[in-house]
């Protein structure tokens, strides 16, 4: 590298040091992924609430009470980018609720009463499971 290339290289990296974090912040600010709260030891709190609707299959157990959706993931999913969606009456995806990562208890806030939930992998365009509340 000659002097001109070294100088340009230095300035490019200095600019990237400031621009890269800003781009990352703006790209994740609208994601609702970090709003989920893992509740490992809040069984007492959840037992006080009255369950309006609940369903279960071999992968998950989901219940809707008041304005919260509680999902118990029984086993860790093989898909690392599993996203939970609200399902309408026809079984179509409507709103993103949150993201599931490892086995455990997840609690998500919900404004409306969903007809069901759909867990899918958006990267591979694969629907993992669909549960409709009765």
For position 40, what pLDDT does the model report? 45
Buried b vs exposed e over 73-92: b needs ≥16 C-beta within 10 Å?
Answer: beeebebeebbbbbbeeeee
- Range list of β-strands (E), 15-115: 37-38, 53-56, 60-65, 68-73, 82-87, 93-100, 104-109
Please answer whether residues 67 and 52 qualify as being in contact, where contact means their C-beta atoms are separated by less than 8 angstroms. no
CB atoms within 10 A of CB 132: 14
For position 32, what pLDDT does the model report? 66
- CB-based burial of residue 110 (10 Å sphere; 0-12 exposed, 13-18 middle, 19+ buried)? middle
Question: What CATH number belongs to 33-132?
Answer: 2.60.40
For position 12, what pLDDT does the model report? 96
pLDDT digits (tens, 9 = 90+) for 14-40: 999 999 999 998 888 777 665 555 444
Look at residue 127 and tell me whether its pLDDT is greater than 80: yes
pLDDT digits (tens, 9 = 90+) for 67-112: 888 888 888 888 777 888 988 888 888 888 888 888 889 988 887 7
For position 45, what pLDDT does the model report? 52
Look at residue 50 and tell me whether its pLDDT is greater than 60: no
For position 44, what pLDDT does the model report? 46
Please answer whether residues 82 and 75 qualify as being in contact, where contact means their C-beta atoms are separated by less than 8 angstroms. no
């Amino acid at each position: 590298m000659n002097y001109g290339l070294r100088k340009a290289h230095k300035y490019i990296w200095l600019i990237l040091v400031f621009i890269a974090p800003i781009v990352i912040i703006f790209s994740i600010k609208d994601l609702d992924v970090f709003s989920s709260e893992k509740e490992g030891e809040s069984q007492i709190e959840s037992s006080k609430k009255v369950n309006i609707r609940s369903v279960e299959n071999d992968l998950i157990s989901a219940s809707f009470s008041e304005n919260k959706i509680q999902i118990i993931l029984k086993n860790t999913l093989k898909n690392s980018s599993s996203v939970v969606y609200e399902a309408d009456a026809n079984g179509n995806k409507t709103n993103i609720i949150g993201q599931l990562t490892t086995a455990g208890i997840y609690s998500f806030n919900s404004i409306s009463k969903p007809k069901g939930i759909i867990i899918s992998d958006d990267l591979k365009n694969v629907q993992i499971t669909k549960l409709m509340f009765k």
